[in-house]
Chain A
Amino acid sequence: MSAEVGTVEARPTKQATPEKIHTWPHLVAKEFLCALLFIVFIFFYSYYVDAPLRELANPGEPENPAKAPWYFLGLQEELVYFDPWYAGVVLPSLIILGLMFIPYIDINPRGSGYYTFRERKFAVTIFSFGFLLWYVLILIGVYCRGPFWAWFWPWEQWTLAFPTPPPLWSFPAPLGVLVLLAYFGAGMVLPAYRWRDFYNRLGRVRYSITMMLLLLMVGTILKIGLRLGFNIKYVLMTPWFNI
């Protein structure tokens, strides 16, 4: 009996002895090399490509289009589909909050410390999708938007003679309330029944936060679809705000 235990303990497991190497030189050399390569790259790039500098700022002469810095163009692109309070303030706040919540709602213990898709399909799929969406919107904002934020392909000449966009319409208020209630209600409740296991594992609080963030992200995309496919301006109109 004791001999058996002895053999088990003696077996060196990967868990017990991770292979360690000296930081100097192994890690420091890599860091140094990365820094060096970056310096070379940035100096080459800066030698050949000049930082943009337009005419002196003139408050009386707006740029058309006036584009935010590229990393905010995803949000500016959302302005086509939402009012500024959502596209410019609430949506980015939700993104930041949502990102902060991630470690606390993802309680899957697997996939810590290595790349894996199979062990955390849900998390990786949702995050990668959001990441991709952010950059797709940026690319659209940078390359496909011209005067008055009209759509121009990168190879097209910007003109002011683009076709008048079709008229937009909005849901009447009762329908809007109904649609939103149905969307968020069903979105919160149905998955809990369909994927009981998922719900039980997360618990009520984590499940609610996760689904709320997911529904908001999907809802944002659905609204884009409604606008592009059906010329819908607002799903919900109230005297105070519109969605």
Chain B
Amino acid sequence: MIPDLKKITDRITQNEIWRSIFRHGYEDTARNRVLQIISNIWLHIHPSTVKKDSVRLSYTFCLGGLTFFIFLFETLTGILLMFYYTPDVNRAYADMLDLSNNAVPFGKLLRNTHRWAGHAMVITVCFHMLRVFLTGSYKVPRQFNWVVGVVLLVLTLLLSFTGYLLPWDQLGYWAITVGTNMAGATPILGYQGPFADLFGFTIDNDIRFGLLGGTSIQAPALLRAYVWHCIALPSLAGALMMLHFWRIRKDGFSGRL
């Protein structure tokens, strides 16, 4: 006996439970296409219709969307890595070795994808900015969203930078040394910067000290990098992304009318 597919489908979808979850059918009608967007919490970030010219691949190159997607990808792989990594100077490097040697199943792949996707995000966010500039998409009324975007660019760099120290290897250690020494040269606020002595900033109370939690990169610096990297910066970036996307909806997609 050949099962009647239509009957089975109806049996599954025409009941109270199914309909309490899914509000509309999947049949390709104009109504369903709209509902697909506006009745879905994840998709309703989009308008239900868009200008044809705004979504041409040769216009956006999907760079903003891709950056957001990489952020989600980093969140996912980052959470997985957090299960296996301890921000402790005595354990961090050993945990990295466990990941790299696949003592953790798929550890190497997990770490590699997280690392390279982080670099990819820096690249896509830069080129997203270039695209937005070249299409003049920051012009009235979208000026403020460009400003939010610049902050997000900085946050992306800081996210990547704070992650750099976490392996607790020579590469990260000395890269962060170079980076945070610059903070020590901040005018007024950094102990080596111009005018710092006039305002009483020394090596143990200046801005670099605040970043490192000490006068050199030790255990507190690793913990700080970890907390910034895993909690503070992603939360900030997430909040600003909401603002960024919401403003796109409010101001409308750019693109030729």
Does B137 reach chain A (CB closer than 8 Å)? yes
Contact indicator B187/A50 (Cβ below 8 Å)? no
| Pick from B57, B117, B169: contact of A42, CB under 8 Å | B117
Closest to A25 in B: B33
> Is A15 interfacial (CB-CB < 8 Å)?
yes
Residue numbers in B under 8 Å from A22 (CB-CB): 30, 33-34, 48-49
For chain B, residues 135 to 165, give those with C-beta under 8 angstroms from any C-beta of chain A. 135-140, 142-144, 146-147, 150, 153-154, 157, 160-161, 164
Q: Does A162 contact B (CB under 8 A)?
A: no
- Verify B143–A54 contact, CB threshold 8 A: no
Residue of B nearest to A98 (CB): B150
Minimum distance in angstroms from A140 CB to a CB of chain B? 16
Known contacts: A19-B52, A103-B147, A113-B256. The answer to whether A54 contacts B170 by CB under 8 A is: yes
B185 lies within 8 A of A89 (CB): yes
CB contact list, B104-136 vs A, under 8 A = 108-109, 111-117, 119-120, 122, 126, 129-130, 133-136
Q: Across the interface, do A34 and B62 meet the contact criterion of CB distance under 8 Å?
A: yes
Total interface residues in chain B, CB < 8 Å: 93
- CB neighbours (8 Å) of B182 from chain A are 75, 84, 87-89
**Residues from chain B with Cβ under 8 Å of A25 in the complex:** 33
Interface residues of B: mostly helix, strand, loop or mixed?
Answer: helix
How many A-B Cβ pairs are below 8 Å?
244
Say which residue of A69, A120, A240 sits within 8 Å of B161 (CB atoms).
A69
- Contact between A113 and B257, CB atoms less than 8 A apart: yes
- Report A52-103 residues with CB < 8 Å from chain B CB: 52-59, 61-63, 66-72, 75-76, 83-85, 87-90, 96, 99-100, 102-103
CB interface residues, A 5-43, toward B, < 8 Å:
14-15, 18-28, 30-31, 34-35, 38-39, 42-43
Cα-based distance from A154 to B20 in the complex (angstroms): 63
Name the one of B53, B115, B138, B181 contacting A18, with C-beta atoms under 8 angstroms: B53
A84 and B138 form a contact (CB under 8 A): no
Question: What class of interface size applies to chain A in its complex with B?
Answer: 35 or more
Which residues of A sit under 8 angstroms from B173, Cβ to Cβ? 57-59
Segment with Cβ contacts to B, from A104-112, A182-190, A192-200 = A104-112
Assess whether A46 is interfacial by the CB under 8 Å rule: yes
A70 and B186 CA atoms in complex are apart in Å by 21
| Residue from A47, A100, A109 within 8 A of B147 (CB atoms) | A100
A45 at the interface (CB under 8 A from B): yes
Closest to A61 in B: B170
Would you call B185 and A84 a contact (CB within 8 A)? yes
B190-202 to A contact mask, C-beta < 8 Å, 1/0: 1011110000000
B22 at interface by CB-CB < 8 Å: no
Residue among A19, A49, A88 with the highest chain B CB neighbour number at 10 A = A88
* A residues neighboring B (CB under 8 Å): 14-15, 18-28, 30-31, 34-35, 38-39, 42-43, 45-47, 49-59, 61-63, 66-72, 75-76, 83-85, 87-90, 96, 99-100, 102-104, 106, 108-116, 120, 123-124, 127-128, 131, 240-241
